[in-house]
Amino acid sequence: MVIGRHLEEPSMRSPSPRRLPVVALAALAVVGGLLSPAGAGPRADPEVLASSVAPDNDRDCTTSRVPVELDPATPATPGNDLGLGLGGLLRPVLDAVAGPQEVVAKLCLPAAPVDDPDLGPPDTVQLLIHGITYDHRYWNIADPEDPTGNRYSWEHAAATAGYATLAIDRIGNGDSTHPPSALVDISTNASVVRQLVDGLKAGTIEGPRGPVAFERVVLVGHSYGSMTSWIAASGNPDVDGVVITGATHNVREVHAPVSIETGHYPAVLDPQFAGSGLDPLYITSQPGMRYDLFYAPGTDVHPVIVERDEATKGTVTQPELMNYPVIFRTPLDITAPVFYLIGDLDGIFCSQDPLDLGADCSSPATVIANEAPWLGDDVPSIDAHVTATAGHDLNAFGTAQESFDAAHDWLTATVAPR
């Protein structure tokens, strides 16, 4: 049986939380969680949103809603449950309030060749997992100078290399349902991804040509999606490869936490999320902050991309953010090959100033040396590529094709589609 309701590509974007004093966190997590809607529709202008997404060239795609469960089917990650024990103590109540949950998932297959229209789908799929305040459209950014082009589309690069892709809105993001924020943390994110891996291998997620059971699944994350990939892949033999983009096990402690903290506020205070009904721990970036948060320092990005990013921004929950040091120090047991893709000007994870505690992203070798101790003793291989002059949002820079080529050269050499 195919799981998932087909829907047209959503025409707008969606909501998420904000940072508040710790003394208020417990009360807001509980009260806000009880009041938060199960789903909160996106608020971006439909025309702006449509112009921000590249066409689905050279691939056949369908978007559906996939039922998921919030209860982690895997061991809880140390440091989850808000770090206060509230998630565990209140979980039965919050689960009851949250109701059924669904994840929006866009499944694309490479278009069948004209000379071989009966060619079957590939046996390998990339599960694309976005970062905070983004959604599945991050993987298919429109080119402001060529609206019909593919310059900023990871999805297109994957299809050209012969891969299927499943680009999702993580739970509590985009057009997926928005449970109480207290339930949206790294453990629930990783649990949902594991459920999607199972669905892809079982053939229960709707595709453009009917159900497809994939033999192999590669997790491809960006930023928080990469952190989710670490946890979802750990101890999981059903994951066949992991591509980590825009993340390392270090952050610029002198800069990044302050920038993210001061650069966000409750989504309900933002005009783009007015009337969304999101609880106070769903936050979004403050107006005018997108470049500073995700593109700086000193990178060359098309201003229209930043403008569209600002107009179509999404959300994140406080529980997703507040335990990042524990996420970084959680022991992993990844048994699939891993590839790191990072921009040397990543203002969140890569060192830009002396003593800022970011990772050394000066070369692939330094990235590998930084990351190898954290992935576990059984990881078969770790490789990396550093894209020069690129910042955090790798897919959005003029160097995107270099990044895409590096990742897919590694993929075809390591987990090639058949």
Q: How far apart are CA 266 and CA 143, in angstroms?
A: 31
pLDDT digits (tens, 9 = 90+) for 203-216: 999 999 888 999 99
Q: What is the pTM of this model?
A: 0.89
- DSSP label at residue 282: E
* Torsion sign (Cα): 27, 31, 34, 40: negative
Q: According to the model, what pLDDT value does residue 324 have?
A: 84
Find the CATH number of the domain harbouring 327: 3.40.50.1820
pLDDT at 43: 64
Q: What is the pLDDT of residue 1?
A: 40
131-157 pLDDT, tens per residue?
999 999 999 999 999 999 999 999 999
* Token pair listed for 28: 């807001």
Can you name the residues that pair with 143 across neighbouring β-strands? 146
User: Coil, strand or helix: which one is 274?
Assistant: coil
| DSSP per-residue codes, 251-264 | --TTTHHHHHHHTE
Range(s) of the domain holding residue 314: 5-414
Q: Pick from 372, 354, 350: which is nearest to 363 by CA?
A: 350
Distance in angstroms (rounded) separating the CA atoms of residues 337 and 178: 33
Distance CA 405, CA 157 (A): 8
The residues, ordered by sequence, that sit 6+ positions from 345 with a Cβ below 8 Å of its Cβ are: 297, 298, 299, 352, 389, 390, 391
Helix (H, G, I), strand (E, B) or coil at 135: coil
Q: Are strands 140-141 and 152-153 parallel, antiparallel or unpaired?
A: antiparallel
Per-residue confidence (pLDDT) for residue 91, from 0 to 100: 63
Total number of domains in the chain: 1
Per-residue pLDDT of the chain (418 residues; tens, 9 = 90+): 444 554 544 333 333 333 334 334 444 444 444 444 544 444 678 999 999 999 999 999 999 999 999 875 444 444 444 333 445 566 666 667 678 999 999 999 999 886 777 778 999 999 999 999 999 999 999 999 999 999 999 999 999 999 999 999 999 999 999 999 999 999 999 999 999 999 999 999 999 988 899 999 999 999 999 999 999 999 999 999 999 999 999 999 878 888 888 899 999 999 999 999 999 999 999 999 999 999 999 898 999 999 999 999 999 999 999 888 889 999 999 999 999 999 999 999 999 988 899 999 999 999 999 999 999 999 999 999 999 999 999 999 999 999 999 999 999 999 999 8
Do the Cβ atoms of 88 and 163 come closer than 8 Å?
Answer: no
pLDDT at 258: 81
Report helix, strand or coil for 238: coil
